Amino acid sequence: MIRLKSPEEVELMRENALLVSRTLAEVGKHVIPGVTTLELDRIAETFIRDHGAQPSFLGYEGFPNTLCISVNDVIVHGFPSEYRLREGDVVSVDCGTYYKGYCGDSAYTFACGEISEEDRRLLEVTKASLYEGIKQAVDGKRTGDIGYAVQSYAEKFGYSVVRELEGHGIGRKMHEAPGVPNYGKRGNGVKLKDGMVICIEPMVNAGSRQIYLDRNGWSVHTYDGKKAAHFELTVVVRKEQADILSTFDYIEKP
């Protein structure tokens, strides 16, 4: 069952999306060598609560924190910890809010200090693959068109996309139908309709697409130990082009 959102609901979701975007920017200011990922988590929780919202990840199916912080070979669902970030780390931060009855969800991969040219390219390509996916989020296309666009873009650079995890619809619940895979065939999958709100979130590995689950039961690692990146935005499917609710502008153009 896919529920289309009314214009009023879309505006409430935009408020959520922008709060998540601002939270990520606040966290990003503190992604520097020496900070612990648990300190970043506290910054995000305080910021969200100060804005009258709640962290939606905290307690979600038992998840213990406000943020998923996934460093280097951790692709997604990393636990904040006492680990101190180091120069050269690649740090994915995924954040969710619950506000006025709706959910927000967005992710950005930050560079900690100076990172290698190779890692810089992984981040740039992953982010660009997200925007390639967003171009397909228009009425009448299908989820497979999004997946194809993400996958074909990332693979051109020799990277691989994770298949076991995917984007999703969002609304009153953080994960709603449909699933939005980061791979696929054009013309396949669920048909997109004006008013659908979805999160597109490519997870791209520098090496092979094989993964393994950490013994904590949550964190997903690259099998070969190479780095991964993850970017996520929330968009509304529209007739001509998607309306992008969240933004990286607070991070990139402060």
Binding residue positions for substrate: 77, 175
* Residue number with CB closer to Mg ion (45 or 94): 94
Annotated binding site for a divalent metal cation: 94, 105, 168, 201, 232
DSSP state of 215: T
Least distance to Mg ion, CB of residue 68, Å: 7
172 vs 186, beta carbon nearer Mg ion: 172
Closest by CA position to 13, among listed 240, 241, 236, 247: 236
Which of 20/115 has CB closer to Mg ion?
20
Mark the binding-site residues, compressed into ranges.
77, 94, 105, 168, 175, 201, 232
Rounded least distance, CB 168 to Mg ion, Å: 6
CB of 167 to Mg ion, least distance (A): 6
Closest CA to 198 of 134, 108, 248: 134
Distance between CA atoms of 59 and 61, rounded to whole angstroms? 6
SS3 state of residue 191: strand
Cβ pair 68, 230 in contact under 8 A:
no
Give min distance, CB of 97 to Mg ion, in A: 11
d(CA 111, CA 95): 17
Nearer to Mg ion, 41 or 105 (CB): 105
Question: Which residues of the shown chain bind Mg ion in the complex (CB under 5 A)?
Answer: 94, 105, 107, 199, 232
Find all residues with CB under 8 Å of 175, minimum gap 6, and list them.
168, 169
